[in-house]
Every structure is written in C-alpha cells, then in structure tokens.
Amino acid sequence: RELRAAAGLPERADAPMSTLPWHARLSGWIGRLPARIRSSAFGAWLLDLLGALRPVWWVARGWILYAFVGLSLGWDIWPRNTVAWIGVIIAVLVSVQWGRGRWLPKNPLRHIATVASIAAVLLIPWTLGEISNRATSFNAYDDMEYLPPDGLLLDGAQVGNLFVYDRDGMLIDGAQIYTGKGTPLNLYGKQSRDVQNGWDDQGDGTFTVPERDLAGKPLWNIYPLQVAPLDEKTGEADSSQAQAPTPPFVRAPQRQESLEPTPTASPEPTLLPTAAPETPAS
C-alpha cells in the first residue's frame, strides 16, 4: 500500500489488478500520465505548450489525412484545383470539430478521432518525405539546363528543306551550302548521323532524302533535298522514286539593280583669245 501511494497509484480495487481488462489498465495509465508529467516544472511547461498548440495540431491532422488520401487518388500533395481545396477544407474542418469535441458519435465510433490522430502521427515522416522529394524534383527541374534541339530551326520549328535562288530569281538546283567555317549546313544536325536513307519530317507520308557522294555517303547540305514516298515493306523511304520537291516559287522576286549615277564628261576648257603685245614707239 505504501509503495502504491509513493508511486501515485490509487488504492487497489477489490478485484486484483491482473484480473482487470487490458483496456481498463491502459486507460488508467493514460489518465495518470499527465499528473506524473506535471510533477516536474519542465513537464508542466511542456504540457501547457502542447495544450496551446492543439488547434495547430487539429489543422495539421486534417491536412496530413488529406495528403494521404489525395496521393492515393493520384492528386498532388498541394491542392491545385477546386476539388482539392474542397477536400482540404472538409478534412481540416472535421479535424477541428473533433478536437473541440463536436461531431463525434456517442457509440463506439467515437474513438475514430483517436484512431485518426494516431494515423496522422504515423504519417508525419511519410508526409515530410514526400514534401522533400517533390521540392527536390522541382528544384532539379528549375536547375536543368536547356538544351536546344539539333538542326536548323526557324521560330522554333524544324526547317525541312531549302530552296536557293540566284540574283535573277532563278532556282539553283543542287546548291551546296556551307557555313563561314566550311561546315556543311545540315538541316537535321547530329540527328541525321543515324539516318542514312531519308528523314520523315514532311508530315504527309514522304521523306526528304539526301544526295550521295562517290562512296555512297549521304550529303545533307545539297539543296533542295529530294523527296521520296514511304516503302511499306521496309518502313523507310523508297529512294528509287525520289524526285525534286515543288519549289515555293517558280521564280523568286528579282533583286533590284543598284542604281549608280552615270558619269558625265567634263566640258573641255575654252581658250580665250589673248591680246597681242603692244609695240613700243620709236
């Protein structure tokens, strides 16, 4: 009896402690726990702090349960649409009302708030991990270096062919185009290294096919590139039916000739008659 009193335990009931149900013993232990914690100054301060933070926990509990259910349904951990926001508001509202002792049934289901609290506590590490993973992925996406696509682009679109005209507006067939450094101008860049027979960029079932040198190597800088239909047997361009593409102009606008002033002949100088020298008088 003295040991029980020193430990803060109540008087022994008529029935032995070992015969009490486990939930009754657990409930008695939980009921005595706050008094034991408050027996020290730090414990009393901690309980007062946690009591003041209970509304924060109610909100956090609702949001954690929403995050778990939302991710299970394929939603984002952060609400990004009206349906998600409605789910967050309902979860938080129910959690707050449970914390205030409202909206709880009087039957055995009244312990659902306790079960939800335990589940929320167990889900805290998982939720923090998901937040960290998504933040890391977002930062990695922001830090990702932009790599422009290969080949020649015009306003972001791939250039599929080139047509070269002379100064009189006449089409030049088989024009070889190089950069200022002597590099062949390849519309498809490094991508064409793996394409030997034809490039499917027309969008109409035809392929652009290159000219070939004496060794049979494709030359992608001779324009205009020919076009060939698809060979359904091989799934590639049928080079045997390659033909010249239709140019955008039969004749391009002729370049205006430079206007240079025609030089005019300078007038020859006019010789004026000179007076004869006077003869001195004798």
Dihedral sign computed on CA atoms, order 87, 89, 92, 97 = negative
How many other CB atoms are there within 10 angstroms of residue 60's CB atom?
A: 16
Between these two residues, 148 and 144, which has the higher pLDDT value?
148
pLDDT in the model for residue 163:
92
pLDDT in the model for residue 15:
47
Judgement on whether residues 74 and 114 belong to the same structural domain of the protein = yes
Judgement on whether residues 188 and 216 belong to the same structural domain of the protein = yes
Angle CA 113–116–118, to nearest 5: 110
Give the C-alpha separation, 244 to 208, whole Å.
Answer: 10
pLDDT at residue 226 tops 80: yes
Percentage of the chain modeled with pLDDT above 70: 75
pLDDT in the model for residue 160:
80
Judgement on whether residues 137 and 178 belong to the same structural domain of the protein = no
Per-residue pLDDT, averaged over 45-57, amounts to: 87
Could you tell me the residue range of the domain that residue 102 belongs to?
Answer: 53-147
Report how many domains make up the chain.
Answer: 3
Contact 207, 230 (CB under 8 A): yes
Is position 259 within any domain? no
Judgement on whether residues 160 and 236 belong to the same structural domain of the protein = yes
Of 147, 163, 181, which marks where a domain is finished?
A: 147
Is position 2 within any domain? yes
Chain centroid, CA 240 distance in Å: 43
Nearest Cα residue to 149 out of 187, 180, 184, 185: 187
pLDDT at residue 279 tops 60: no
Of 113, 147, 181, which marks where a domain is finished?
A: 147
pLDDT at residue 251 tops 60: yes
Contact 242, 216 (CB under 8 A): no
Per residue in 149-205, pLDDT tens?
777 878 877 788 899 998 888 888 989 999 889 888 888 777 666 555 666 655 566
Sequence-ordered list of residues with C-beta below 8 angstroms from that of 131, at least 6 positions apart, any chain: 77
Judgement on whether residues 171 and 224 belong to the same structural domain of the protein = yes
pLDDT in the model for residue 197:
62
Contact 93, 62 (CB under 8 A): yes
Average pLDDT, the chain: 77
Where does the pLDDT of residue 259 fall: very low under 50, low under 70, confident under 90, or very high at 90 and above? very low
Per-residue pLDDT, averaged over 30-52, amounts to: 85
Structure tokens of 64? 């954690």
Is position 273 within any domain? no
pLDDT at residue 209 tops 70: yes
Judgement on whether residues 33 and 72 belong to the same structural domain of the protein = no
Judgement on whether residues 57 and 142 belong to the same structural domain of the protein = yes
Where does the pLDDT of residue 140 fall: very low under 50, low under 70, confident under 90, or very high at 90 and above? low
How many residues are given for the chain? Answer: 282
Judgement on whether residues 34 and 106 belong to the same structural domain of the protein = no
Structure tokens of 46? 């901690």
pTM over 0.85, yes/no: no
> What is the rounded end-to-end Cα distance, in angstroms, of the chain?
179
Of 147, 176, 203, which marks where a domain is finished?
A: 147
